[in-house]
């Protein structure tokens, strides 16, 4: 890919407001957050909670009510994907999942015969795996399985309640019911060697999956791992070792026909996650459920939405007030530019300037630091060809630093 520096003369003033008309034609991704888990993993900082009992009927009605309220806000759209995340959505009754899917498709019908991608996150535990057929009948057509490791000691360290054999059995069961299956894995674990990681990847690739999401272990503030790491209970691999594991991952998966279409996601052609691509391409998405976020283009501009975080607060607000929304705020042109670049540089295709101008009212030169952009291109961290800006493999390995160079006045992501 050829390199060039984008001239400031190539774009109009960033103050020009982008057109927001025709919002009804924009595809819509819908994220449904199920906040409950059987136990809390020590590395997890997601909005997940352990509950002794769950009133499935009450939660089903709350989700349906929020979908109806969001429909009234958005009006006509066409749904492109639905994603049940969590928490552990496979703890949801399949009947609840089916009712939510049906209500979403009623609110925002798909276009023609283009069936939306409907993903549900699940754990490999036997009791949950036995419900896969029911979720398929409910309308789920893509399963994302939280394997996390194929090593017994690593699974215990990560606080997982399943074993490696149980995970492989769940994958086989998932493939019987779903044409598309993803496996999540965590690597760059304490003491993990390249040989050990290559062996785990080999066992996983033998399952013939079309999509893998592979995340390096990070220590998040407020988690049990954060306190343990500060005490010195364990140490993560250094930056050089992590880079080596990342490069090895790309090499092994590349030989198996899975390309890195995003920093941590690998897929065979046509198996890319449509829902996540909506985020990375800065498309519209609605968030339903406790703590869920959204970015929505309305007639008068783009807004960011955020729901109440605590499950008991959210469901009570929906029941009593008709809405679990905590905040809704306009997204400025500058914020759109920062968010779109932060997300778009994660994917191999990068950011298209025509789409960037449509969203932000200006071109790259209007929003990005010119000197920073030149330095990053010269250093081989960014590439610019035609009207598209993309991170190289080296750039994707240090995205926080790249973003800070492009937006020096913004907070680091």
| pLDDT at residue 256, rounded to an integer | 97
Long-range contact set of residues 227-233: C-beta below 8 Å, sequence gap at least 24: 228/42
Q: How many CA atoms lie within 13 A of 192 on its CB side?
A: 32
- Which domains occur in the chain, in start order? 1-16+333-413 (1.10.10), 23-279 (3.20.20.70)
pLDDT averaged per 10 residues in sequence order, the chain, 413 residues: 29 39 75 95 92 92 97 94 96 97 96 89 87 96 97 96 95 96 98 97 97 97 96 95 96 97 97 97 97 95 97 97 96 97 96 96 96 96 93 93 90 46
Taking a C-beta distance cutoff of 8 angstroms, is the pair 302, 358 a contact?
no
Give the strands of the sheet with 382-385, arranged side by side.
Answer: 351-352, 388-391, 382-385
| pLDDT at residue 23, rounded to an integer | 59
Name the pTM for this structure: 0.92
Query: Distance between CA 67 and CA 61 in Å, rounded?
Result: 10
| pLDDT at residue 176, rounded to an integer | 95
| pLDDT at residue 14, rounded to an integer | 34
> Residue 336 contacts by C-beta under 8 Å, 6 or more apart in sequence?
282, 302, 359, 360
Q: How many CA atoms lie within 13 A of 212 on its CB side?
A: 29
| pLDDT at residue 9, rounded to an integer | 28
Query: Distance between CA 336 and CA 351 in Å, rounded?
Result: 13
| pLDDT at residue 24, rounded to an integer | 64
Treating both helix axes as pointing N-terminal to C-terminal, what angle do 399-406 and 333-344 enclose, rounded to 10 degrees? Answer: 150
C-alpha distances out from residue 153 to 192, 196, 218, 241, 372, Å:
11, 12, 18, 20, 44
Taking the chain, what is the end-to-end CA distance rounded to the nearest angstrom? 27
Provide the b/e sequence for 251-268 (b: ≥16 CB within 10 Å).
ebbeebebbbbbbbbbbb
């Amino acid at each position: 890919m050829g390199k060039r520096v984008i001239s400031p003369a190539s774009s109009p003033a960033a103050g020009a407001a982008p057109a927001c008309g025709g919002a009804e034609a924009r595809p819509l991704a819908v994220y449904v957050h199920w906040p409950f888990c059987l136990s809390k993993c020590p590395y997890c900082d997601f909005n997940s909670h352990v509950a002794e009992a769950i009133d499935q009927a009450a939660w089903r009605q709350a989700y349906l009510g929020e979908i109806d309220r969001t429909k009234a806000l958005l009006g006509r759209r066409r749904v492109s994907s639905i994603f049940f995340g969590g928490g552990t959505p496979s703890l949801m009754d399949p009947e609840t999942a089916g009712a939510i899917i049906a209500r979403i498709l009623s609110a925002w019908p798909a276009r023609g015969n283009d069936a939306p991608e409907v993903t549900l996150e699940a754990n490999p535990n036997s009791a949950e795996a036995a419900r896969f057929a029911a979720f398929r009948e409910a309308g789920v057509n893509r399963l994302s399985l939280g394997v996390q490791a194929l090593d017994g000691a690593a699974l215990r360290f990560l606080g997982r309640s399943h074993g490696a054999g149980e995970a492989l059995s769940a994958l086989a069961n998932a493939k019987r019911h779903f044409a598309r299956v993803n496996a999540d894995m965590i690597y760059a674990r304490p003491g993990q060697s390249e040989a050990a990681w290559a062996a785990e990847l080999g066992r996983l690739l033998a399952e013939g999956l079309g999509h893998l999401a592979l995340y390096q272990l990070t220590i998040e503030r407020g988690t049990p791992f954060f306190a343990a790491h500060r005490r010195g209970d364990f140490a993560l691999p250094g930056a050089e070792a992590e880079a080596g594991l990342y490069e090895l991952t790309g090499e092994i998966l590349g030989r198996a026909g899975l390309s890195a279409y995003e920093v941590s996601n690998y897929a065979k052609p046509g198996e890319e996650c449509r829902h996540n691509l909506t985020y990375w391409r800065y498309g519209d998405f609605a968030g339903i459920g406790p703590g869920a976020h959204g970015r929505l283009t309305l007639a008068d501009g783009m807004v960011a939405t955020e729901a109440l975080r605590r499950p008991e607060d959210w469901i009570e607000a929906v029941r009593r007030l008709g809405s679990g929304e905590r905040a809704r705020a306009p997204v400025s042109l500058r914020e759109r530019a920062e968010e779109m670049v932060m997300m778009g540089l994660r994917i191999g295709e990068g950011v298209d300037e025509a789409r960037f101008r449509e969203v932000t009212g200006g071109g790259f030169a209007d929003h990005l630091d010119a000197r920073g952009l030149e330095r990053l291109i010269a250093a081989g961290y960014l590439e610019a060809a035609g009207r598209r800006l993309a991170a190289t493999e080296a750039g994707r390995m240090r995205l926080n630093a790249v973003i800070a160079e492009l937006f020096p006045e913004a907070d680091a992501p």
